[in-house]
Chain A
Amino acid sequence: MQPPAELVHWMFATGFLLLGLCLLAQALVGEDVWRQRPWRAYVWPGLAFLMGVLMWPVMVFYTNSTIHMVAHGSWAQVMMLAGGAELGLVRGKLKNSYWRLTMPLAFLVSGTALLIHEQNGWLFARAAFLHHLIGWLMITGAIFPLVSVFRPRSAVWRSGFALTFVVLGVLLYCDRDVAPVFGHLSSQAGTPHR
């Protein structure tokens, strides 16, 4: 009764899309307006933390090699760390704003894990292409949360941070189990699905 792996990617894509929309709204209206309703301040950090928690069952049930397990485990940890740190800051349990550095750390760790655990070349299949693309997206996109730590009121950097999640969601929606990319599909990849 387990959903196929590509469907799990699409479920996470929906979570990242929603996360991106919330962050974009926050960037547009500013911190003061966003926090006028206390519950709203917890929405995106809570969502990030929840997705980190949900990454654990993905690690347990969907990984078929050590390197895949380590990659998924590292995503779970850094998502929980970044979401948890933001929750702590919102709640007031954490005082130092440098805890926000956990987010660029999460981006860097996630991107690196994506690139390291993808053993095939860019055009092996669509999944391989997307792993490379998402890996580099996360590594280069880390600049947005990093600068936002030092310029927290900059709408430009915060919007870039939000849009990185939106693009991540779109790329995850593109993922298929076995499918060609730009007409390329390695004969070793298997039979393409629909």
Chain B
Amino acid sequence: MNRYGQNTIDHRFVHTRREDNAGEWYALDNAATIMPAVTDNVSTGLFRLEAELDEPIEAENLKKALAITVNRMPYFNVTLRRGFFWYYFEPCKTMPSLFLDLRFPCQKWNINRRGTPMFRILWEQHRISGEFSHALTDGTGGIAFFKSLLANYLMLKGVDPGVQLGKGEWRDIIVSFGDMSGSATSEEFEDAYQRYFPNGLPFPDLRPHAFHLSKTCLPKGQYRVISGKLLTSEVIAEAHRRNVSLTELMTAVYLDALQHLWHATKPHPREPYISVEIPINLRQLFPSCTFRNFSLFVLISEDMRLGMRDFDELVSRTHYQMKLEYDRMSIARHLCRNAGSARNLAVRLVPLRVKDFFAKVFFSKFGESMLSGFISNIGQLKMPPAFASHILSFGFVPAPSMATMTNASMLSWNNDLVINFGSLSQSRDLEQLFFRRLRSIGLNVSVSCRSDNEI
């Protein structure tokens, strides 16, 4: 038992897998419930993980690896269905298909269309990509599935992992070979928000509406990804020199770019605040093995009415704001509000159509309107050395958003820090300001845009 009342876990809300005469089905986790209502063909809610291998991809082996992975993690191979009160996941009747990679990622995939799987695997030459709906999982869950898929693929090609997968350091790599076979446990798809639901806490304070980037969109179906590659050791050294973390440094750079855009907008925008959302992996604060969503966010804001801030000042202010927001108690207030609403009888009895309406209103009023953009850091990826030697690079592309237009995500692989900006906006000013700032503080950046090169 702890101070947040986990001694009174209500398993009805925690366990998502149910079974009836027609077979099994899954309830959506707390964060996922809003996603179907706010996603469409453009704001698909899909994020992408990709890996570049040292050899061309063999589609047949990849197909087999996908089948093995899905058999072990069947809670990924689901499709969205509408109930009267809530959405639910129904297992797909077939194995997921492989798709050839597209010029624009994370587009043209609407989970609301009946029968659409909640993720898709794409391949092209040396690259394997996985696009996952946020209604299904978060970055950590997506990484676990994707790493398991890569492991299964490489093992099918005869690569011996040399370590025990599914345990210890490699517990998120789940394969089905020999003594490493096993079946899914209920913890893997539990609603961890409900497991750690802290009753009776005050709700978090509402944040003001934040400045949003220009709304001049790329043509429908286009999603531009600009990638920046840096040396992780160099960035960490710079962050440590400033006594901040890598994420805090990058957030400060993001805020700096936003403040320049805000001040360059004439007349100044109505919203005086710029806010950057930093998604946080709750598993680090609340231990859980779930591969469903279990993340929340910290908002770092600055009031632009006070004028332009010096970059060093932004870095230290980001650091202290992060310190204030990122602790178990503060996060528990968010958990209380979000998970509590799904337990409320009055809310549960409201028909789904009505819920959808309110989901859109709440998402617009209290969700994306509060942030100017987000920067998601999935951290340092690790694979067993035998696999790592076959993987040249990893990539992480953020989900497209019509409200914020441009968002960033990053990960580290070996000594490479890859920052991807996904954008629906025609303007590249944010990316330009971001990477120029990195250059100005002495970091070497290599920038590319895949869709430009494919013209």
A, B co-complexed: no
